[in-house]
Amino acid sequence: MTEALIHKTAENSGDTAAATQPVESSAVPADVPLSSGDVEAAVHAIADRSRHAARRMAMANRAWKDRALRAVGTALKESTESILTANAMDVAAGKANGTSAAMLDRLTLTETRIAGLVAALENLANLPDPVGNVVRGQTLPNGLRLRQVNVPMGVVAAIYEARPNVTVDIAGLALKSGNAVILRGGSAAQATNEVLVRVLREALESVGLPADAVQTVDQYGRAGANVLMKARGRVDVLIPRGGRELIQAVVTNSAVPVIETGEGNVHIFIDESASEDMAVEILLNAKTQRPSVCNTVETLLVHSGSRVLPAVAAALRKAGVRLHTDERTRAALPASIESEPATDEDWGTEYMDLDLAVAMVDNLDEAVRHIRTWSTGHTEAILTNDLSNAERFIAEVDSAAVIVNASTRFTDGGELGLGAEVGISTQKLHARGPMGLTELTTTKWIVQGEGQVRG
């Protein structure tokens, strides 16, 4: 059974004084309950403590939350050795269990990647606080003053697999947006996540915020994840992040409202006006920089009138990319460039590896039809020097991100100035695309009057 299928079955006026108040903390239970009733009671207790912590987080002002983010960053740096030791255990176990190269890449932390997490936390601290932002407002003819403002969601839960970086990213975003978070990071990264959650909790306590603003149900395994999905009323929103099976299992089985993140069957279309140098550079970046992530290109569509295909294909093959080509593409390639015949399965596959499906089309309409048929709605790009084609592509392609003349790897919260991201939402309700701070808030209406009554 795969890890994915497992988941089926206001400004603070008293900042300094409040920071000195005792923090209500709860230790993670050491013994895993065996009965379903015990697991349900334990996860519900975690959710209830999260609810209490969320109320305190909602009252914390920006300065306080930013201190917490920087404290987490410092703690991560100081704990690098213990984090890497735990991560090495998870990676070794993954290799022994036959985990794919793509999943091992996502699972692996290095000093550089930890430094990247610290930098993302600093970026978050430098971003404006979304809480209290006025979305819109007006004064009615009867004198009522209206404001719609951003407020925290409350208790945010996340279910993900083999991605310890997500533990820090989601926790950081939740804290900055005034939420509490409950994490289910999966068995593949359990040792790493145990250390990371401990670091996060201790850092929160060090600045006087509740440690229970970050909790995990990893210790309760599959049963804990199932209870979390059913904890409607205790958990405000659930965000799955991972492969198709995990996401669909959560969407199908959850009683808690879900923000659906999606897999990335990402396309790039090279039209006949695109330059060779730009096409080569962008395709190499979009396919090979980090092939295991969701914004990596998986299908290349090339206009039959373009002259750049041989150079692009040669550069990709030199970089180790395996090409899955349709008949017209193979006929247009030099015999020295190896490829294998593409099938319908290739057009629908998120490889997350050094594989690329390649098809030839005769015009923009054919490219758009192919994308509409096979896209998961994540990211699509066009490489062109034709403004009309660029504008048509933007208008006709319905994905969370549409890119002109740049790598698809930019569909990322950090790259787009969001500090970090919870995931890439491919749904159309509430949040779409990279989900940053604002996407972890909801709104409420504030109505102020002077005795008005409705007639």
Q: Report pLDDT digits (tens) over 252-279.
A: 999 999 988 777 899 999 999 999 999 9
Residues 6+ apart with CB under 8 A from 302: 269, 270, 308, 309, 312, 329, 358, 359, 360, 361
For 338, how many CA atoms within 13 A lie in the half-sphere containing its CB? 7
pLDDT on residue 34: 54
Identify the CA nearest to 405 among candidates 389, 434, 378, 383.
383
Give 35's pLDDT tier (boundaries 50, 70, 90): confident
Q: At what angle do helices 190-206 and 164-176 cross, to 10 degrees?
A: 30
Map tokens 């050795």 to a residue.
81
- How far is Cα of residue 127 from the mean position of the Cα atoms in its chain? 18
Question: Which residues in the chain are classed under CATH 3.40.309.10?
Answer: 266-416
For residue 324, report the phi and psi dihedrals to the nearest 5 degrees. -115, 105
pLDDT higher for 9 or 289?
289
pLDDT on residue 161: 86
Q: What percent of the chain has pLDDT over 70?
A: 92
pLDDT on residue 20: 34
CATH number, span 3-261+438-446 = 3.40.605.10
Map tokens 């036959």 to a residue.
98
Residues 6+ apart with CB under 8 A from 135: 148, 149, 150, 443
Give, in order, the Cα–Cα distances in Å from 4 to each of 104, 266, 402.
15, 21, 28
Average pLDDT over residues 401-428: 85
Residues 6+ apart with CB under 8 A from 426: 260, 261, 262, 376, 377, 378, 399, 400, 432
pLDDT on residue 342: 96
Model's pTM, two decimal places? 0.79
Residue 219 CB burial class (10 angstroms; 0-12, 13-18, ≥19) = middle
**CB of 405 closer than 8 Å to CB of 278:** yes
pLDDT at 23 over 50: no
Question: Which residues in the chain are classed under CATH 3.40.605.10?
Answer: 3-261+438-446
pLDDT higher for 18 or 361?
361
pLDDT on residue 429: 77
Identify the CA nearest to 292 among candidates 344, 354, 338.
354
- Rounded Cα distance between 350 and 5, Å, is 18
Mean pLDDT taken over the chain: 90
Give 27's pLDDT tier (boundaries 50, 70, 90): very low
Q: Comparing 5-19, 31-45, 179-193, 201-215, which segment has the lowest mean pLDDT? A: 5-19
Average pLDDT over residues 218-226: 93
Which residues face 141 on adjacent strands? Answer: none
Give 208's pLDDT tier (boundaries 50, 70, 90): very high
- Rounded Cα distance between 443 and 149, Å, is 5
Give 10's pLDDT tier (boundaries 50, 70, 90): very low
What are the tens digits of pLDDT across the range 111-136?
999 999 999 899 999 999 999 999 99
Query: Rg of the chain over CA atoms, in angstroms?
Result: 24
- Rounded Cα distance between 301 and 10, Å, is 50
Residue 342 CB burial class (10 angstroms; 0-12, 13-18, ≥19) = buried
pLDDT higher for 35 or 408?
408
Class of 266-416 in CATH: alpha beta
pLDDT higher for 292 or 10?
292
- Rounded Cα distance between 431 and 260, Å, is 9
What are the tens digits of pLDDT across the range 346-361?
999 999 899 999 999 9
pLDDT on residue 12: 38
pLDDT on residue 18: 37
pLDDT on residue 381: 98
Give 62's pLDDT tier (boundaries 50, 70, 90): very high
- How far is Cα of residue 125 from the mean position of the Cα atoms in its chain? 19
- Rounded Cα distance between 197 and 114, Å, is 14
Average pLDDT over residues 29-46: 77
3-state secondary structure of 383: strand
Give 25's pLDDT tier (boundaries 50, 70, 90): very low
Conformational region of residue 186, where left means phi above 0, alpha means psi within -120 to 50, and beta covers everything else = left
pLDDT higher for 387 or 10?
387
Give 11's pLDDT tier (boundaries 50, 70, 90): very low
Instruction: Kindly state the tokens that stand for 441.
Output: 């808030």
pLDDT on residue 100: 86
- Rounded Cα distance between 68 and 57, Å, is 11
What are the tens digits of pLDDT across the range 146-183?
999 999 999 999 999 888 999 999 999 999 999 999 99
pLDDT on residue 147: 97
